[in-house]
Structure 1
Protein backbone atom coordinates (compact mmCIF):
# COMPACT_ATOMS: atom_id res chain seq x y z
CA UNK A 1 0.00 0.00 0.00
CA UNK A 2 2.75 2.40 0.90
CA UNK A 3 4.50 1.31 -2.25
CA UNK A 4 1.46 2.06 -4.39
CA UNK A 5 0.95 5.33 -2.63
CA UNK A 6 4.60 6.35 -3.24
CA UNK A 7 4.38 5.20 -6.83
CA UNK A 8 1.25 7.23 -7.33
CA UNK A 9 2.78 10.36 -5.73
CA UNK A 10 6.00 9.99 -7.73
CA UNK A 11 4.10 9.45 -10.99
CA UNK A 12 1.91 12.42 -10.35
CA UNK A 13 4.82 14.71 -9.44
CA UNK A 14 7.11 13.44 -12.18
CA UNK A 15 4.44 14.01 -14.81
CA UNK A 16 3.89 17.53 -13.44
CA UNK A 17 7.64 18.11 -13.35
CA UNK A 18 8.08 16.86 -16.94
CA UNK A 19 5.14 18.97 -18.05
CA UNK A 20 6.75 22.04 -16.48
CA UNK A 21 10.08 21.29 -18.15
CA UNK A 22 8.44 20.86 -21.58
CA UNK A 23 6.41 24.04 -21.07
CA UNK A 24 9.54 25.92 -19.97
CA UNK A 25 11.55 24.75 -22.96
CA UNK A 26 8.73 25.62 -25.37
CA UNK A 27 8.31 29.00 -23.69
CA UNK A 28 12.03 29.63 -23.90
CA UNK A 29 12.17 28.75 -27.61
CA UNK A 30 9.10 30.76 -28.61
CA UNK A 31 9.92 33.55 -26.15
CA UNK A 32 13.42 33.86 -27.56
CA UNK A 33 12.03 34.30 -31.06
CA UNK A 34 9.58 36.88 -29.75
CA UNK A 35 12.37 38.75 -27.93
CA UNK A 36 14.56 38.63 -31.05
CA UNK A 37 11.68 40.04 -33.10
CA UNK A 38 11.13 42.78 -30.52
CA UNK A 39 14.84 43.63 -30.49
CA UNK A 40 14.86 43.77 -34.28
CA UNK A 41 11.86 46.10 -34.14
CA UNK A 42 13.62 48.30 -31.58
CA UNK A 43 16.74 48.38 -33.74
CA UNK A 44 14.65 49.47 -36.71
CA UNK A 45 12.98 52.17 -34.58
CA UNK A 46 16.35 53.37 -33.31
CA UNK A 47 17.74 53.48 -36.82
CA UNK A 48 14.70 55.45 -37.93
CA UNK A 49 15.18 57.89 -35.04
CA UNK A 50 18.88 58.25 -35.88
CA UNK A 51 18.00 59.02 -39.48
CA UNK A 52 15.37 61.50 -38.31
CA UNK A 53 17.85 63.19 -35.94
CA UNK A 54 20.49 63.34 -38.67
CA UNK A 55 17.90 64.86 -41.00
CA UNK A 56 17.05 67.50 -38.38
CA UNK A 57 20.73 68.26 -37.91
CA UNK A 58 21.25 68.64 -41.65
CA UNK A 59 18.25 70.99 -41.76
CA UNK A 60 19.73 73.09 -38.93
CA UNK A 61 23.06 73.36 -40.74
CA UNK A 62 21.30 74.17 -44.01
CA UNK A 63 19.26 76.91 -42.34
CA UNK A 64 22.39 78.30 -40.73
CA UNK A 65 24.23 78.30 -44.06
CA UNK A 66 21.28 79.85 -45.88
CA UNK A 67 21.12 82.54 -43.21
CA UNK A 68 24.89 83.00 -43.43
CA UNK A 69 24.67 84.50 -46.92
CA UNK A 70 22.16 87.13 -45.76
CA UNK A 71 24.17 87.97 -42.66
CA UNK A 72 27.35 88.18 -44.74
CA UNK A 73 25.67 90.56 -47.17
CA UNK A 74 24.50 92.83 -44.33
CA UNK A 75 27.96 92.87 -42.72
CA UNK A 76 29.62 93.51 -46.08
CA UNK A 77 27.32 96.49 -46.71
CA UNK A 78 28.02 97.84 -43.22
CA UNK A 79 31.76 97.48 -43.83
CA UNK A 80 31.49 99.13 -47.27
CA UNK A 81 29.55 102.07 -45.79
CA UNK A 82 32.09 102.42 -43.00
CA UNK A 83 34.96 102.37 -45.51
CA UNK A 84 33.23 105.02 -47.66
CA UNK A 85 32.70 107.28 -44.64
CA UNK A 86 36.34 106.85 -43.64
CA UNK A 87 37.46 107.71 -47.17
CA UNK A 88 35.31 110.86 -47.13
CA UNK A 89 36.71 111.83 -43.72
CA UNK A 90 40.27 111.35 -44.95
CA UNK A 91 39.54 113.36 -48.12
CA UNK A 92 38.11 116.17 -46.00
CA UNK A 93 41.20 116.07 -43.79
CA UNK A 94 43.43 116.21 -46.88
CA UNK A 95 41.49 119.23 -48.16
CA UNK A 96 41.85 120.95 -44.77
CA UNK A 97 45.60 120.23 -44.78
CA UNK A 98 45.87 121.61 -48.34
CA UNK A 99 44.07 124.81 -47.29
CA UNK A 100 46.36 125.12 -44.25
CA UNK A 101 49.35 124.52 -46.52
CA UNK A 102 48.12 127.18 -48.97
CA UNK A 103 47.58 129.65 -46.10
CA UNK A 104 51.05 128.92 -44.76
CA UNK A 105 52.55 129.43 -48.24
CA UNK A 106 50.74 132.73 -48.54
CA UNK A 107 51.87 133.78 -45.06
CA UNK A 108 55.42 132.65 -45.85
CA UNK A 109 55.43 134.67 -49.08
CA UNK A 110 54.20 137.75 -47.21
CA UNK A 111 56.90 137.33 -44.56
CA UNK A 112 59.61 136.94 -47.24
CA UNK A 113 58.41 140.07 -48.97
CA UNK A 114 58.55 141.96 -45.63
CA UNK A 115 62.07 140.65 -45.08
CA UNK A 116 63.13 141.86 -48.47
CA UNK A 117 61.67 145.25 -47.75
CA UNK A 118 63.61 145.57 -44.53
Structure 2
Protein backbone atom coordinates (compact mmCIF):
# COMPACT_ATOMS: atom_id res chain seq x y z
CA UNK A 1 0.00 0.00 0.00
CA UNK A 2 1.41 3.41 -0.95
CA UNK A 3 1.84 6.40 1.35
CA UNK A 4 -0.59 9.28 1.15
CA UNK A 5 0.70 12.80 1.69
CA UNK A 6 -1.32 15.81 2.78
CA UNK A 7 -1.26 19.10 0.91
CA UNK A 8 1.60 21.30 2.14
CA UNK A 9 3.19 18.53 4.13
CA UNK A 10 5.81 15.90 3.57
CA UNK A 11 4.45 13.76 6.38
CA UNK A 12 2.29 10.81 5.47
CA UNK A 13 -1.36 11.28 6.29
CA UNK A 14 -2.55 9.11 9.17
CA UNK A 15 -5.71 7.23 8.44
CA UNK A 16 -8.15 6.67 11.30
CA UNK A 17 -7.50 2.93 11.22
CA UNK A 18 -3.72 3.49 11.48
CA UNK A 19 -3.76 5.77 14.54
CA UNK A 20 -2.07 4.34 17.56
CA UNK A 21 -3.32 4.74 21.06
CA UNK A 22 -0.80 6.61 23.16
CA UNK A 23 -0.49 6.73 26.90
CA UNK A 24 -1.90 9.73 28.72
CA UNK A 25 0.64 12.47 29.51
CA UNK A 26 2.11 12.28 33.00
CA UNK A 27 0.27 14.16 35.72
CA UNK A 28 2.09 17.28 36.95
CA UNK A 29 2.12 16.04 40.54
CA UNK A 30 3.61 12.65 39.63
CA UNK A 31 7.21 11.54 40.05
CA UNK A 32 8.13 12.84 36.61
CA UNK A 33 6.76 16.33 37.34
CA UNK A 34 8.93 19.13 36.00
CA UNK A 35 9.91 21.65 38.65
CA UNK A 36 9.96 25.28 37.58
CA UNK A 37 13.38 26.87 37.15
CA UNK A 38 12.08 30.33 38.06
CA UNK A 39 10.43 31.72 41.16
CA UNK A 40 6.96 33.11 40.62
CA UNK A 41 5.67 35.35 43.39
CA UNK A 42 2.67 37.53 44.11
CA UNK A 43 2.63 40.74 46.12
CA UNK A 44 -0.41 42.98 46.54
CA UNK A 45 -2.30 41.32 43.68
CA UNK A 46 0.57 41.56 41.17
CA UNK A 47 2.48 38.52 39.90
CA UNK A 48 6.23 38.63 39.24
CA UNK A 49 8.80 36.17 37.92
CA UNK A 50 12.30 36.15 39.38
CA UNK A 51 15.27 34.26 37.94
CA UNK A 52 17.05 32.43 40.77
CA UNK A 53 20.38 33.93 41.81
CA UNK A 54 21.91 31.50 44.34
CA UNK A 55 23.26 33.00 47.54
CA UNK A 56 21.17 36.18 47.59
CA UNK A 57 17.81 37.03 49.06
CA UNK A 58 14.67 36.85 46.97
CA UNK A 59 14.29 40.61 47.43
CA UNK A 60 17.82 41.41 46.22
CA UNK A 61 17.43 39.09 43.22
CA UNK A 62 14.08 40.69 42.31
CA UNK A 63 15.36 44.25 42.67
CA UNK A 64 18.48 43.38 40.65
CA UNK A 65 16.23 42.16 37.84
CA UNK A 66 14.05 45.26 37.83
CA UNK A 67 11.17 43.68 39.76
CA UNK A 68 10.02 46.45 42.08
CA UNK A 69 8.80 44.69 45.21
CA UNK A 70 7.43 46.78 48.03
CA UNK A 71 9.90 46.69 50.95
CA UNK A 72 11.31 48.86 53.70
CA UNK A 73 13.64 47.57 56.42
CA UNK A 74 15.42 44.63 54.71
CA UNK A 75 15.80 43.08 58.19
CA UNK A 76 12.63 40.99 58.42
CA UNK A 77 10.99 43.16 61.06
CA UNK A 78 8.44 45.27 59.16
CA UNK A 79 6.88 42.52 57.00
CA UNK A 80 6.35 44.92 54.11
CA UNK A 81 8.19 42.64 51.64
CA UNK A 82 5.85 39.69 52.33
CA UNK A 83 5.14 37.71 49.14
CA UNK A 84 3.25 34.56 48.25
CA UNK A 85 5.40 32.03 46.41
CA UNK A 86 3.31 30.61 43.56
CA UNK A 87 6.02 28.47 41.94
CA UNK A 88 9.67 27.65 42.55
CA UNK A 89 9.50 27.32 46.34
CA UNK A 90 11.98 24.44 46.07
CA UNK A 91 14.60 27.00 44.97
CA UNK A 92 14.40 28.76 48.35
CA UNK A 93 16.08 27.80 51.62
CA UNK A 94 13.79 26.90 54.55
CA UNK A 95 12.12 29.78 56.40
CA UNK A 96 14.20 31.80 58.82
CA UNK A 97 13.18 32.41 62.43
CA UNK A 98 11.93 35.89 61.52
CA UNK A 99 9.78 34.48 58.72
CA UNK A 100 8.29 31.87 61.04
CA UNK A 101 7.49 34.64 63.55
CA UNK A 102 5.64 36.68 60.88
CA UNK A 103 3.51 33.92 59.33
CA UNK A 104 2.72 30.24 59.67
CA UNK A 105 1.46 29.97 56.07
CA UNK A 106 3.94 27.87 54.03
CA UNK A 107 3.58 29.90 50.81
CA UNK A 108 4.11 33.28 52.53
CA UNK A 109 7.72 34.46 52.64
CA UNK A 110 9.59 37.61 53.60
CA UNK A 111 11.44 38.43 50.39
CA UNK A 112 14.29 40.07 52.34
CA UNK A 113 14.85 36.91 54.40
CA UNK A 114 14.12 34.15 51.85
CA UNK A 115 17.50 32.99 50.55
CA UNK A 116 17.81 31.45 47.11
CA UNK A 117 19.69 28.15 47.15
Q: TM-score, normalised by structure 2?
A: 0.18
Rg bigger for which structure? 1
Considering fraction of residues, name the structure with more strand: 2
User: Which protein has the bigger helix share?
Assistant: 1
TM-score, length-scaled by structure 1: 0.18
The structure, 1 or 2, with the larger RCO (C-alpha pairs under 8 Å, 6+ apart) is: 2
